[in-house]
């Protein structure tokens, strides 16, 4: 996490230096409007706009992951309950098998 922060900070410094070095006024055409702004402001605004878009996309991705985690956790709990029920049935059947075997053994010995 700290590496990401440091890289973001370095990138912000590089963008700031680039913007300050290119501070000449430029014409900006935005749909039907035209503005004359400093290139530094255009660069800063573009960087901020890009960061906001990335942040929104990241938040959407995180929300989708949280929903998926919630769904999988619920399914995991359901499967855990099912496994415990199957283990109980398995234990009961294991207890019944020796009884059935002993009954078969008794029946075979009485027939002989």
Q: What is the pLDDT of residues 57-86, one digit of tens each?
A: 999 999 999 999 999 999 999 998 888 888
Neighbours of 68 (CB within 10 A): 10
Q: How far apart are CA 65 and CA 71, in angstroms?
A: 10
| Integer angstrom CA distances of residue 68 from 3, 61, 63, 94, 102 | 28, 11, 9, 38, 51
Portion of the chain with pLDDT greater than 70, in percent: 80
Record the pTM.
0.58
Tokens of 79: 């499967």
Mean pLDDT, to the nearest integer, of 22-26?
A: 82
What are the residue boundaries of the structural domains of the chain, listed by start?
2-111
């Amino acid at each position: 996490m700290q590496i990401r922060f440091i890289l973001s900070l370095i990138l912000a410094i590089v963008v700031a230096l680039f913007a300050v070095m290119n501070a000449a006024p430029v014409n900006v055409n935005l749909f039907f409007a035209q503005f004359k702004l400093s290139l530094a402001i255009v660069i800063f605004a573009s960087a901020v706009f890009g960061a906001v878009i990335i942040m929104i996309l990241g938040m959407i991705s995180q929300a989708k992951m949280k929903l998926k985690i919630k769904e999988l956790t619920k399914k995991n709990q359901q499967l855990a309950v099912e496994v415990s029920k199957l283990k109980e049935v398995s234990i009961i059947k294991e207890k019944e098998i020796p009884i059935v075997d002993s009954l078969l053994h008794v029946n075979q010995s009485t027939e002989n």
